[in-house]
Amino acid sequence: MMKTRILIALSLLGLLVACGGPGENATIPEAQPAGASSADIGAHVVHFSAQTTDQLPPEIASLYNIVRSKNRAMLNVSVIREADGIAVTAEVSVITKNLAGQLKNITMRRIDEPGVQDEPDSIYYIGETAVANREMLSFDMSIKPEGIDKAAEVRFRRQFFSD
């Protein structure tokens, strides 16, 4: 329960991100205004945040084998079914680029946290990449929740400061 609450709190730290809505036929989704941290993709809502890993408490970083650094960014994604608010599994892939169009390597991995008492299980997808001071990254996410035939596209941008 404590780990779940800490991960949720860390997600809330990323409220300074911008999100993109789902693309119907577009290959590149339109980025939304800064401040959003979720995107409605039909029967599901995608929640996301991105922040430098030095913002993680040391015990959480250690638990999930994350290197704490001002020069590393972590993307955190969860997919929630709107009908009942339950976290669901999904295929989550991300292409990350900086403003110069350079690709940044980011591989997403799944983290499952069992619910405690009446809480449902939590499912997160996290990935890390190197960042430079003041670097702006675009995160183009392809999200396909379990049981859905077509992936939704979500885009957001985030600038990172390491000084």
**Which domains can be identified in the chain, with CATH numbers?**
2-23+36-160 (2.60.40.3340)
Q: Please name every residue paired with 126 in a beta bridge, in sequence order, or none if there are none.
A: 76, 109
Alpha carbon 26 to its chain's center = 21
Q: Specify the 3-state DSSP secondary structure of 7.
A: helix
Query: What pTM value is reported for the model?
Result: 0.78
Two tokens, residue 155: 């885009």
In Å, what is the CA distance from 45 to each residue of 107, 109, 118, 146, 159? 21, 19, 21, 13, 23
pLDDT digits (tens, 9 = 90+) for 43-82: 999 999 999 999 999 999 999 999 999 999 999 999 999 9
Task: Give the type of residue at 97.
Answer: K
Q: pLDDT at position 4, please?
A: 43
